[in-house]
Amino acid sequence: MIYNDADVIVIGGGIAGSSTALSLAEKGRTVILLEKGRVGEEASGRCAGGVRQQNRNVAELPLAMESIKIWADMINELEYDVGYRRSGNLQIAMTPDEYTSLHRICEREKSMGLKVEMLSQRDVRGLISTIAKDWDFAGGKYCPTDGSANPLLVVKAICRMARKKGAAIREHEPVTGMTLKSGQLTSISTFDNEYHAGAFVIAAGPWTHKLCNQVGLDSPLMVHRDQILVTEPMQHHFDPFIIYGDMYMRRAIEGNVHLWGGHHPIAAFDKQLSYGAFAYAADRIATKFPYLKKVNIIRGFAGLTCYSPDEIPILDQIPNISNLFIAAGFSGHGFCLGPIVGKLMAEWIADGRPSLDLSAFRWGRNYNKNDSDNYNCL
């Protein structure tokens, strides 16, 4: 057994964990990131890549708006193009009631400083010319400063820069044990190593619940399987990330279109792509965007995501384990938030407090969803 010491140990190599490691390294802290497999190859690398501010829970919106500032300079910060583009985010209102609800959200977001606007059906058709002519939807809501990035590139680029700044990134090191003493986490073990640190961060997505169990914590987090299909490269038909009903689609820089294949709560950690994903997408796409009827699907993938009951993350210092921090439960929409979450967790650990209020994301909160307008769309 080899002993390793650091100021901070981060468990989990997704976008939140890797961003935390990078931010801590930039603050001069010694940090070791442990990933059970390879960095960026779980939820953060198996998502739609949306970098979205609009239609978020009101507690998340300030974080998303601050995170966009980091995304805007990411190509310089990471010295690498991760495919981030501000191509806009459009939510199509399927019914008049949905349009009314989106309008309320729009007014609230404007009051919080977000640039967002309501669109008529004619406006939406002007933005997206390939919509079925016989689709009588109510209108839309549009945020021009939203966008997307390539999830296959982002976390790996963050980890490369974290290494450059002095962080140790250790892949294929699953945590097998955790030791508590006098209300503090003193060490964690992997198959071959033991790690000691002053502070520990669990940012392990769906595996967070099991890790919490090792120190006697019963988290409310649940595992879902999300599925995405990818078309062959196509001509340029649209720019914005499009959402309607329970469906979304995104155009990649290379011309492929990513289609939502649904998500489901699961008991086992099963990442197999189901036939149902194809049926789900076909049922929701063909009548709305007829030009996609005969397109070839060249690949698809499924990923495991971590949901909280109220669908906003847990970002907290665990009250009864003073040196343990949690950043998990992003509920399928944490890709945008990852960079700011990393910055805030690093501030909390290194400086004693985060620069934004995270009280809404505390561990022991009331997890009830009680505001129909306070939702997170994909």
- What are the tens digits of pLDDT across the range 238-252? 999 999 998 999 999
Lowest mean pLDDT among 188-197, 216-225, 368-377: 368-377
Mean per-residue pLDDT over the chain, rounded: 93
| Mean per-residue pLDDT, 142-171 | 97
198-246 per-position pLDDT tens digit:
999 999 999 999 999 999 999 899 999 999 999 999 988 899 999 999 8
| Mean per-residue pLDDT, 93-109 | 98
Instruction: Tell me which CATH code domain 90-144+223-307 carries.
Output: 3.30.9.10
pLDDT for position 285: 87
CA distance linking residue 292 with residue 129, whole number of Å: 13
Range 110-139 burial, b when 16+ CB lie within 10 A, else e? eeeebebebbebeebbebbeebeeebebbb
242-293 per-position pLDDT tens digit:
999 989 999 999 999 999 888 778 877 888 888 888 888 888 888 899 999 8
* Fold agreement (2-79+151-220+310-361, 90-144+223-307): no
CA distance linking residue 127 with residue 139, whole number of Å: 12
CA distance linking residue 80 with residue 63, whole number of Å: 24
Q: What is the largest CA-CA distance in the chain?
A: 67
The architecture of the domain spanning 2-79+151-220+310-361 is: 3-Layer(bba) Sandwich (3.50)
Sheet holding 89-93, edge to edge: 117-119, 139-143, 89-93, 241-244, 247-251, 257-265, 222-231, 297-307
- How far is CA 221 from each of CA 310, 331, 358, rounded to the nearest angstrom? 10, 9, 18
CA distance linking residue 340 with residue 327, whole number of Å: 11
Query: Whole-prediction pTM value?
Result: 0.95
Give the start-to-end residue ranges of the domains of the chain: 2-79+151-220+310-361, 90-144+223-307
Q: pLDDT grade, residue 372 (50/70/90)? A: very low
pLDDT at 378 over 70: no
| Mean per-residue pLDDT, 66-82 | 97
Lowest mean pLDDT among 79-88, 311-320, 352-361, 367-376: 367-376
Q: pLDDT grade, residue 370 (50/70/90)? A: low
Comparing 115 with 236, the larger pLDDT belongs to 115
Q: CB atoms < 10 A from the CB of 248, how many?
A: 20
- Please name the amino acid found at residue 263: H
